Amino acid sequence: MKERLEAIKKSALEQIEQAQKMESLNAVKVNFLGKKGELTKVLKGMKDVAKEDRPKVGQMVNETRQIIEKALEEEMAVLKRKIREEKMKSEVIDVTLPGKTHEKGHRHPNQIALDDLERVFIGMGYEVVEGPEIEYDKYNFELLNIPENHPAKDEQDTFYINKDILLRTQTSPVQARIMEQGKLPIRIISPGRVFRSDEVDATHSPSFHQVEGLVIDKGITMADLKGTLQQFAREFFGPETEVKFRPHHFPFTEPSAEVDITCFKCGGEGCRMCGGSGWIEILGCGMVHPHVLEMCGIDPEVYSGFAFGIGLERVALLKYEIDDMRLLYENDKRFLSQF
């Protein structure tokens, strides 16, 4: 029995020493220590051993098992280390290889213009608010003094979803929404996307952006409107900029005006940029119509206010001297990387 165990031990240790792979070691483990392994076989043969010798043989089997287990463990640890070292060697990083460049994006010219514009108005104490792009007819038209059958509601230029819901054609509905909340005084700007069923060309797009402005308080006059927009024009386009108010008509303001600024390219002399006139139109504005105030729950005998609507693309194109609005939407990196 002793010889048999010695032979098993010798054979196991030899195989362990020769093993080059984890799999071979696992095979040794199964073949010698496993359920059907050599040592188990010996234990099963115990019934043929004399009773008094059994404890002795049992002990010998255990000792052999321990020796084999220990040798296996040690060899496995050595092998593991070797495998890891080889892996490390094969995964060496060549730091001299050229790196991958990550292209960094930046703000879109529209957004740069909007950030500039917001800064000017926030500096004057305005709050920036937003309204929904899908809007009720009531806010987009009715509360702004544009009743049914008004030519401004022409289906030609409005995307209707149904009779009462549409894609807003202007940011002016935010005026009505804010007034309706009844918190006074009001001093807000509201930038956002608007939609009109227009063909795309150098100055038109079915989707563009406006920035609405609204101020309501006691004793607000046209002088406040003029001073505010003059200040905006100077901060946004440059300190030499002059503004001119031309009478106009908007249903929700009375009186209404369109505002021109002196051409920042020629300073008012007349050039290609301003079509020779020296002036460039930038926005529409006016004193909020008393009927609009009333419809939105504000007493026009006590409160007055002004409003304005700036075409964001229009001022962005002017500021950066871009002559085609389509460039803003084409996502051509050669164009965008210039900003």
Q: Site residues (CB under 6 A) for ligand DAH? A: 170, 172, 212, 250, 253, 284-286, 307-309
Q: Cα–Cα distance between 189 and 116 in angstroms, integer?
A: 13
**Nearest distance, CB of residue 206 and ligand DAH, angstroms:** 14
Determine how β-strand 127-128 pairs with β-strand 186-195. parallel
Shortest distance, position 97 Cβ to ligand DAH, whole Å: 56
Nearer to ligand DAH, 4 or 138 (CB): 138
Q: Are 61 and 37 in contact (CB under 8 A)?
A: no
Nearer to ligand DAH, 37 or 191 (CB): 191
Q: How far is the CB of 308 from ligand DAH (least distance, A)?
A: 5
Give the integer Cα–Cα distance in Å for 261 and 242: 6
C-beta closer to ligand DAH: residue 64 or 253: 253
Q: Which of 86, 105, 145 is nearest to 292 (CA)?
A: 145
- Please give the Cα distance from 197 to 286 (Å, whole number): 26
Min separation Cβ 196 and ligand DAH, Å = 9
Q: At what angle do helices 312-319 and 109-123 cross, to 10 degrees?
A: 100
Q: Which is nearer to ligand DAH, 264 or 308 (CB)?
A: 308
CB of 120 to ligand DAH, least distance (A): 17
- Closer CB to ligand DAH, 278 or 309, in the complex: 309
Q: How far is the CB of 273 from ligand DAH (least distance, A)?
A: 22
CB of 105 to ligand DAH, least distance (A): 30
Comparing C-alpha atoms, which of 135, 242, 115 is closest to residue 189?
Answer: 115
119 CB contacts (<8 Å, ≥6 apart)? none
Decide whether 210 or 262 has the Cβ nearer to ligand DAH.
Answer: 210
**For residue 219, is it left (φ>0), alpha (ψ between -120 and 50) or beta?**
left
Q: Between residues 38 and 212, which has the closer beta carbon with respect to ligand DAH? A: 212
**Residue placing its CB nearer to ligand DAH in the complex, 245 or 264:** 245
CA separation for the pair 308, 213 (Å, rounded): 5
Residue with the CB atom nearest ligand DAH in the bound state: 309
How far apart are alpha carbons 42 and 303 in whole angstroms? 106
| Closer residue to ligand DAH (CB): 17 or 199 | 199
Within the chain, residue ranges assigned H as helices are: 2-18, 22-28, 38-44, 54-90, 109-123, 137-140, 173-181, 222-237, 290-295, 312-319, 333-336
Contacts of 249 (CB under 8 A, 6+ apart): 256
Residue 208 CB, nearest approach to ligand DAH (Å): 10
Give the shortest CB-151-to-ligand DAH separation in angstroms: 13
